[in-house]
Structure 1
Amino acid sequence: MDAISKSVHKFSYDLLKEILKSEQKKNIIYSPFSIVIALKMVMSGANGQTKSQMEKVLHLLQECPSLKECEEELQSDIKGLLSNQKDKKYELNIVNGLFGEKTFTFLDQYVQLLKKEYNAELQTVDFKKNADPERQKINEWVKCLTNGKITNLYGEGSLNESSVIALVNTIYFKGQWAKKFNPENTREGTFHVNKNEKKTVKMMSKSGKFKFLALPELKSKALMLPYEGDLSMIIVLPDEVDGVNELLSKANPDLLTTWAQRKNLREKEVDVILPKFKLEHGYELVQPLKSLGMTDLFQSKADLSGMSNTKGLVVSNLAHKSYIEVNEEGTEAAAATAVGIGVTSLPIRESFNADHPFIFFILRNSDFLIFFQGVLFSP
């Protein structure tokens, strides 16, 4: 697991715990990678304490020998993903956008950096006179890039006449299971929302050899379900029906680091039962990021002098939306992050029956870089 993957893991878990403060027992889905890219585009124009706080919250300095080395590694990974997305076995489309008020003057070096490093071409808009129509156009752009899955990313009023910059990252994934679930085996089954509540849902099933890991220290077990290509879904299932809250309280980046360190473990014969599910959710990330220590970015002391010589630039909103659908064929997932800136032997068969709340990740096999993370409380 490389330094960037570790940074994304740590940030993802920090953010998950902040989200859980206001989203108790609600389904959760987000893309830590999308959020990191959007914040990194802002950080490219930040200086001073504003930049230092962002580096700390994103764990960039803790995992790399030097910030320069860490930034180069992250940029290389981002550029690689942006330029090499045509895997014939799955769709993984990552697109960045920079929308700027036509009367606003950017520093040329910032515009060129976003174009070079993020493939984000500057598109001029008229926020001063047509803020809402421009907002709707940006939302349509996002909707198109996520195959219609992410709608209304910028909510009504989130972009107004004081807005000067809108930064957007979108990520769309559609993959087929390496070993598909047979639809004929899908049956109605019971999903235990908690010890006192249950519901009838469509449960898929299949058997085969999968990477499986018992996690007794977390009173859980983990299963890797590979897609065609180099991505997989890892599901972490508590032993107890009500165990997900305890698991979440103990959640930390070591959960996947443990798996990564043992990723060459032998596959086991596993009987898998998994609910079909579809989740979509949106988050306003200003408060969670403030709580994590990224405070200056959202107030008048923000130093965004790497973007423009204009004084008083401040991030006024940071919206993120994600979508995922898991069925017999595979998974379709999408996410978008928007930053609004304004002035101001005989094998033993294992059973993996995901009939109660669990954590899941969609990640790259080679380095466990997390593209999507979520918690299913109720299908």
Structure 2
Amino acid sequence: MASSSSLSKPNTTFSLALLRKLSEDNNTANIFFSPFSISSALAMVMLGARGDTATQISEVILYFDIWSMSSCTVLFFSYTKVYFIFTRELNNPEAKFVLSVANRLFGEKSYSFLQPVLLCNGRASFIGQILEIPYEGKVLSMLIFLPRQIEDNETGLKKLEDLLTAETFMEWTHPHEMERGEIVVKLPRFKLEEKYDLNKVLSSMGMVDAFDETKCDFSGMSSNKGLFLSQVSHKAFVEVNEEGTEAAAATGNLVADSVSFFTADHPFLFFIRNRITKTILFAGRFCSP
């Protein structure tokens, strides 16, 4: 049985790589996407790919690291079931398809923030603060990476992004690095709804043949030659409202000798993660309302 860390590392690596790619054109833009959903959709496509096309997809989403793990058996069969439905429809000449993944997550009652709040005061503190806010039910949590406010007349966000790898992410958010405490949290209300055409981004990451009608090989999906991905689009939505913010800012019944302050009044990175599997479901960068 694979450990949660061995399963989460490929997901974290892909999440951060995609975050960097989406940041390249505009380093001050808001960003929000679901790396888990994108990689899941591409994994489904990969089942019907062959040769270099399949290899390139697997190398981008890093699924070659986890397909052989026994804990992924259920996930694999889930993909396979969807895949057979997809191919059955695909071979219908009247069908038209766009690979599109939409995600929504609200800071409402069903996903309200829950105490206790954890703050990173370990080795990562030199780059800023890392706050973990568990959601109700404690399965999901929001991790906020807040860089130091001013560095060379700019926010320290770029320095943080440059230092962030799968290894540092997992190290900085390890339970040994996080401390429970009485924390006064000031987090802005925000709503992000982002849509991306991922063709160029995925191509730049190495997934080239899937978009090239002359090179692609999806013979595992259909006997029709010339089948290729014409568009990969992704849409994600998140809202952190006053209710979530108030719950996050609540202080009480927390063990601490002193009160810490977490004031998110400048750009930050945030991630919504499964606390059990350590899988990043959503990733984002908040720069402005």
> Normalised by the size of structure 2, how large is the TM-score?
0.81
Q: Pick the aligned partner of 1:281 from 194, 199, 212.
A: 194
- Tell me, yes or no, if structure 1 residue 176 matches structure 2 residue 111: yes
| Separation of aligned partners in 2, 1:218 and 1:310 | 56
Relative to structure 2, which stretch is displaced further, 257-266 or 293-302? 257-266
SS in 2 for 1:366: coil
Which amino acid in structure 1 is aligned with residue 264 of structure 2?
A: A
Q: What is the Cα deviation at residue 76 of structure 1? A: 2.6
Q: Which runs of 5+ in 1 are unaligned?
A: 83-95, 97-112, 129-162, 180-207, 332-344
Q: Which runs of 5+ in 2 are unaligned?
A: 246-254
C-alpha distance in 2 between matches for 1:347 and 1:209: 15
Deviations 1:64-85 (A, max 9, x none): 4xx433xx54453477xx8xxx
How far did residue 209 of structure 1 move? 4.3
2:195 is paired with a residue whose SS is strand
1:298 matches 2:211: yes
Whole-angstrom distance in 1 between the partners of 2:81 and 2:176: 35
Question: Does the 8 A contact of 1:227 with 1:330 survive in 2?
Answer: no
C-alpha distance in 2 between matches for 1:40 and 1:321: 18
Structure 2 vs 1, CA of residues 238 and 50 (structure 1 numbering), >3 Å: closer, same or farther?
same
Secondary structure of 1:262's counterpart equals coil
Q: CA RMSD in A?
A: 2.9
1:114 and 1:168 map into 2 onto residues whose CA distance is 18
Equivalents in 2 of 1:234, 1:290: separation in Å?
A: 29
The structure showing larger relative contact order (alpha-carbon pairs under 8 Å, at least 6 residues apart) is 2
Per-residue Cα deviation, 1:143-181 (whole angstroms, up to 9, x for no partner): xxxxxxxxxxxxxxxxxxxx74444444343443244xx
| Whole-angstrom CA distance in 1 between matches of 2:45 and 2:131 | 36
* Cα distance, 1:253 vs structure 2: 1.5
Is the 1:213–1:259 contact (alpha carbons within 8 Å) kept by the matching residues of 2? yes
The answer for the alignment partner of 2:272 in structure 1 is 362
What secondary structure does 2:230 align onto? strand
1:299-338 to 2 correspondence within 5 Å? 299=212, 300-330=214-244
Distance 1:346 1:250 in 2: 29
Question: Residues 209 and 270 of structure 1 are in contact (CA less than 8 Å); yes or no, is this contact kept in structure 2?
Answer: no
Structure 1 residue 378, shift from structure 2 partner? 0.6
After superposition, the C-alpha distances for 1:18-46 in whole angstroms (9 at most, x for unaligned) are 11111320100000011011101110100
Deviation at 1:357, TM superposition (A): 0.4
Q: Report whether the alignment pairs 1:114 with 2:81.
A: yes
Alpha-carbon separation, structure 2, partners of 1:168 and 1:122: 18
Match of 1:185 in 2: none
CA contact (8 A) 2:157 2:268 kept: yes
The residue number in structure 2 matching 1:142 is none
Secondary structure at the residue paired with 2:242? Answer: coil
Contact 1:27 1:375 in 2 (8 A): yes
The alpha-carbon deviation at position 258 of structure 1 amounts to 1.2
Q: What secondary structure, in the 3-state scheme, does the structure 2 residue paired with 1:356 have?
A: coil
CA contact (8 A) 2:102 2:235 kept: no
Q: Deviations over 1:208-254 (max 9, x none)?
A: 74211035476121001111111110100001241112212222222
- The whole-number CA distance in structure 2 between the counterparts of 1:271 and 1:217 is 17
User: Deviation of residue 314 (structure 1)?
Assistant: 1.0
Over the matched positions of the two proteins, sequence identity in percent amounts to 33
Letter of the 2:21 counterpart: E
2:33 counterpart of 1:30: yes
Instruction: Write out per-residue CA displacement over residues 103-154 of structure 1, whole angstroms, 9 at most, x where no aligned residue.
Output: xxxxxxxxxx333x798696689886xxxxxxxxxxxxxxxxxxxxxxxxxx
Q: How does 1:43-82 map to 2 (within 5 A)?
A: 43-61=46-64, 63-64=65-66, 67-69=67-69, 73-74=71-72, 76-77=74-75
Bigger proportion of residues as strand: 1
Identify the structure with the greater helix proportion: 2
Q: For 1:246, what is the secondary structure of its paired residue? A: helix
2:124 and 2:172 in contact (8 A); partners too: no
Distance 1:68 1:169 in 2: 26
Kept in 2, the 8 Å contact 1:222–1:235? The answer is yes
2:117 to 199, 207, 210: 210
Q: Is 1:268 aligned to 2:181, yes or no? A: yes
Contact kept? 1:4, 1:60, Cα under 8 Å = no
Q: Confirm or deny: 8 A CA contact 2:118 2:179 kept in the other structure.
A: yes
> What does the per-residue CA deviation read over 1:312-363, in whole Å, with 9 as the maximum and x for residues that have no partner?
11111111111111013339xxxxxxxxxxxxx8612211000100000111
Aligned counterparts, 1:343-354, within 5 A: 347-354=257-264
Aligned to 2:148: 239
- Verify the 8 A CA contact 1:11 1:57 in the aligned structure 2: yes
